[in-house]
Amino acid sequence: MMANDWILTRIEGRAGRITFNRPAALNALDHDMAMAIEAAIDGWRDDPTVALIVIDAVGEKAFCAGGDIAAVYRAGIAGDLRPGRDFWRDEYRMNAKIAEYPKPVVSFMQGFVMGGGVGVGGHASQRIAGDTTQIAMPETGIGLIPDVGGTLILARAPGRVGEYLGLTGGRIGAADALYAGFADHYLPEAEWPGLIARLVETGDPGVIPRGLVPAAKGQLADRRPQIEAGFGGRDIHEIVASLEAAGTQFAADTLKVLRRNSALSLEATLRLVRMTRAEPTIRAALSNEFRFTFRAVEEADFLEGVRAQIIDKDRNPQWKYSPETLPMAEVTRLLAPVPSGWEIDFAA
């Protein structure tokens, strides 16, 4: 086991096991935890005794509810940009290694799976959701963007579903996770321990049951016509205008959510999802996302968003712009390539 007991890593039978073990914090992922995951999968890559990797979590409430960004916030308030940049760059390298891993990776995603949790569980080759699963990329609500390779999953979602989920940060259950491409299989959570035991014994992902359907119906398929109509615009100005013109309850509810989120983050998210759709690889997605997060602490709405949602919890962020006043040149600047020497070293 690792010294950091928030991430438990070990070999059992034919499987490398990674378990989030920080349930009191909803298994929030910090820098050390990300590095522990990377060290484990690096060590097992060429180990012939490890046939596959199983990633799961302790606690019923969350697989991983996101990145632990309190340290990034504290450093940022003090004017130190390095901790955030180092965390995101290292985390993204780990995300890419999971996505590109040469052996099967099976993730069991119960409860909240948000942000950094999607970056671990969402890039596994076999992703299992259950009845408690609630997946979201809610970063626009804290002045960030869907990162950890989330824009790749959003870019691959049907139609404009990726734009809708990325901009609103909406939560989806198992049925919609299957529909949108955040999960591959549904299995009742009572059956997870038995399946993990079979995976450990056999090292064969072929033992995963296929084709089971959750009892709770999803909503995205029924909403698709309204999502397509509302989120096809070239920028956030056009999306807001089309939703305002629609006059439907869906449009009104969606506008209310968008106006709560950072306009800078909304437009950047829209551009990033579409940039990744044009080059749909994990490395392109992460490299493009890092353009924003590299600058997020100093130049975007991140510090104010974290203050309002997580630190002071007044839920009243004072964003720099509204969708109507947002200068597009500011978003272009935030998405410029990172300075030389700061690129993600995916081969490390």
Catalytic residue among 38, 91, 139, 289: 139
Residue 4, pLDDT above cutoff 80? no
Q: What is the structure's pLDDT at 24?
A: 96
- Between CA 71 and CA 86 the distance in angstroms is 12
| Element housing 126 (H / E) | strand 126-129
Q: Give 57's strand partners.
A: 20
Q: Which of 147, 163, 267, 289 is catalytic?
A: 147
Active site residue 147: yes
- Sequence-separated (6 or more) residues with CB below 8 Å from residue 247: none
What is the per-residue pLDDT for 102?
Answer: 98
Is residue 341 part of the annotated active site? The answer reads: no
Q: What is the mean pLDDT of residues 142-168?
A: 98
pLDDT at 66 over 60: yes
16, 116, 141, 305: which one is catalytic?
Answer: 116
Say if residue 153's pLDDT is above 80.
yes
Residue type, 335: L
Q: What pLDDT score does 236 carry?
A: 97
- pLDDT score of 155: 98
Angle between helices 220-230 and 249-260 (to 10 degrees): 70
Is the domain defined by 7-334 classed in CATH 3.90.226.10?
A: yes
Residue with tokens 């597009």, as numbered in its chain:
328
What confidence tens digit (pLDDT) does each residue in 88-101 have? Answer: 999 999 999 999 99
| Cβ atoms of residues 319 and 143 within 8 Å | yes
CA distances, 26 to each of 105, 110, 150 (Å): 22, 11, 19
Q: Which residues of 234-255 are buried (b: 16+ CB within 10 A; e: fewer)?
A: ebbeebbeebeebeeeebeebb
184-241 pLDDT, tens digit per residue, is 999 999 999 999 999 999 999 999 999 999 999 999 999 999 999 999 999 999 999 9
Residue type, 40: A
Choosing from 16, 56, 66, 67, which is the catalytic residue?
Answer: 67
- Give CA–CA dist 271/276, Å, rounded: 9
Nearest to 258 by CA among 303, 310, 321, 328: 321
67 is catalytic: yes
Query: Which parts of 213-316 fold into alpha helices (H)?
Result: 220-230, 236-246, 249-260, 263-278, 282-299, 302-306
What residues contact 47, with CB distance under 8 A and at least 6 apart? 11, 16
Taking residues 142-158, what's their average pLDDT?
98
> What is the reported pLDDT for 63?
98
**Could you tell me the pTM of the whole model?**
0.97
- For residue 2, the model assigns a pLDDT of 45
Active site residue 139: yes
- Enumerate residues 6+ apart whose C-beta is below 8 A from 313: none
Where do we find the tokens 């493009």?
288
